[in-house]
Structure formats: C-alpha cells, structure tokens
Amino acid sequence: MNREAHNVNTPTHPHDGTDVQLLQRHPQLTDKALIDWINGLEVVDDHLRVRRKEKSLLSRVFDLATGVTECRQQHIDQNLHAGLSAAFSGLQDLQHHVARSDLAVEIITEKLTETRAGVMRMNVKFTKQFDAVWQQMDAIVANYGPRLTSLELRTARLERLDLVDAHIEFVLSKWSAGHYQLFSPLERLFMACNELQWGDFGDFQRQLSRQAMPDPRCERMLETVCNKLTAQMRRDCGDSDLPRPMADWLEVQQHRALPENHALIGCLAADYPNAAICPLPAVLADRSGSALQSLVLPRSAGPAKLVQHMLAETVLTKESLC
C-alpha cells in the first residue's frame, strides 16, 4: 500500500498535486505518516485502557465536571478520524494505481493483439511469397533442368572428345617423331593401333559400341584415325600407295632388328589369340611360315587396306581386357 503523509488533525487528499510532488521530492513523508498513524492508534489504545479501569462514582462525577472525559473522548475521536482518513486515502491511492495498472495492462494487451495480428499477416504474406517463389523454382527446374542436364552431358562428352583427340595426336606424334623406327612398318602400325585401343580412344569406342543405336561419331572418329594412320604409313613407304606383299611389311632393316622388339610385339599380339579373326596380330605373334600362309591373311595390301584391317583386328574385347 502506498501511504501518504497526513496531518493527524487535518488529513489531505491523496491525489493533491502538491502532496504528490512533496512525496516524490521527500519520500520520508510516507514513513512519517505511517509512524503518526501508528502513534495515533497507540494513543487511542491508552485512552481506551484508562476508560476501562473501574472508577468510583465520585471520580466519574469529577471527570465529567472538569471535562476530562469529554477531552479524552475527543482525542479518541480525532485519532480514529485521522487513522480512517489515512486508510481511506491509502485505499484511494491504491485504487488509482490499480486503475492505472489496469489501463496499462489493457493498452499492452491491445498492442500485443495488434502485434499478433501483424505477425499473422506477415506469416500469411510470407507463406504466399514462399509458395510463389517455390512454384517459380519448380517452373525453372522443369524448364531448365533437362537443358542443364543436356549441357552437362554435352560438356562431359566434349571433354571426353578432347581427351580422345589428344590421345590420338600423342600416339601419331610419337610415330612421326621416330619412336617406332626400330620396328617394321606392320609392327609400327600394330604398336600405334594397340596403344590407341588401350587408351582414351579405345575406351570411347567401346563406350559408343555399347549403345543400342549406332552412333555416327564412332564411324567419323574411326575414319579420321584411319586417314591419319594411312597418311603416316604412306610417308614411311615413300608416299607410295602400291600394294606390297605381306613379307615386305614385316621386313626390318638388318641394322635395326632387335630380338627384344620381337618379344615386345609378341607379348602385345598375344592379346589376340584367334588367328581366324585377327590374322595380322597372329602373324606378329608367330612369324612362322604357317602364319604367313593363312587363308584369311591378305597376300598383299596397300597402306589404306592394311590400316583398315589392323584397326578392325586390334579392337580389344572383354577377354582381352581381363
């Protein structure tokens, strides 16, 4: 309870602006008012205790004659009135503060209600915007998803083609640089075709061959490689397209013939054991007369025909890769 300072004899109104300012400036007045109220109650208790004592008739008559009884009653009434006034003022002040608190609670409730309504509106608006953005994202994915997938596949295919082209150029550059000079023309062609089949070129050809529909890129790439190998074979033969016996293609100059070269060629040619399907590798693996007399082996061939047969016969199968 907020207690205000009151004079015992002349209590003031609790909502007097002057008293409020005094209480704000001098908060000790509240304590003084409380102490005066308690002192007044003690005075009333003393007067009532005196009145309760048994007195003789002569004493009571003397008190009435001298006015002591009336004075005592007046003190009791004044203190009771001062206490009741202070209590009433305190209750009024408490009621005033309760009313202000109720008003503040009401205002806060209204603000919270407005805030809740605003949050709900924002939530609805955000949900609509989120749904709209999500629908746009779905539309973008539906429209551009296949395109992006196609672009990714195309990019991967172009990168793979770059690797294949780089591999082909690397093998042909080795041949043109003279890395195969210690071998016969047929052995050079076999070395180049075998290296191509074991690298990116062969991997790409096998990947395309597994597709259900034939891919024209495979044919174009084979034709490109065939043309480049044919051109290199022509240069090794002095730019001649004339057919030669198979023994001439296997001939190695005497000062370049090395046993280890024949062993290397035999090891690589062993990947193609079927002489009926791969007669050229079979001749390189077994240089006996029987291999040269095979009915499936061409008796003579020019550079272009030899390249076509070698490319077809050096394709690696699953058995060769195991």
Domain boundaries, the chain: 1-158, 178-321
Residue 140 is predicted with a pLDDT of 87
Q: What is the pLDDT of residue 84?
A: 75
pLDDT at residue 120 in the model: 93
pLDDT (0 to 100) of residue 157: 82
pLDDT of 51 reads: 66
Q: What is d(CA 227, CA 241) in angstroms, rounded to the nearest whole number?
A: 13
Of 14-28, 32-46, 175-189, 302-316, which gets the smallest average pLDDT?
14-28
DSSP state of 277: T
Residue 301 pairs in a beta bridge with 244
pLDDT at 107 over 90: yes
Tell me the two tokens of residue 267.
Answer: 């090891």
Per-residue confidence (pLDDT) for residue 183, from 0 to 100 = 85
At 150-159, the pLDDT tens digits run: 888 888 888 8
Whether the predicted pLDDT of 113 surpasses 90: yes
pLDDT score at 258: 67
Considering only 103-107, 127-131, 300-304, which range has the smallest mean pLDDT? 300-304
**What is the pLDDT at residue 197?**
86
Q: Which residue has the tokens 């089949």?
A: 197
Q: What are the tens digits of pLDDT across the range 73-87?
A: 777 777 777 777 777
Closest C-alpha among 179, 294, 312 to residue 246:
294
Taking the C-alpha atoms of residue 300 and residue 244, their distance in angstroms, rounded to an integer, is 5
State pLDDT tens for residues 12-68.
Answer: 444 444 555 655 565 655 666 667 667 777 777 776 776 666 566 666 676 667 777
**CA pair distance 219, 225, nearest whole angstrom:** 10
Burial class (CB in 10 A: 0-12, 13-18, 19+), 208: middle
Question: What's the pLDDT at 112?
Answer: 94
pTM beyond 0.75: no
Percent of the chain with pLDDT over 90: 13
Distances (CA, A) of 298 to 41, 227, 248: 141, 20, 13
What's the distance, Cα to Cα, between the start and end of the chain in Å?
Answer: 99
Query: Which tens digit of pLDDT belongs to each residue from 116-156?
Result: 999 999 999 999 999 999 998 888 888 888 888 888 888 88
What radius of gyration do the chain's Cα atoms show? 59
Q: Write down the pLDDT at residue 32.
A: 64
| Per-residue model confidence as pLDDT tens digits over 223-254 | 888 999 999 988 888 877 788 887 778 776 54
The whole-number pLDDT of residue 253 equals 52
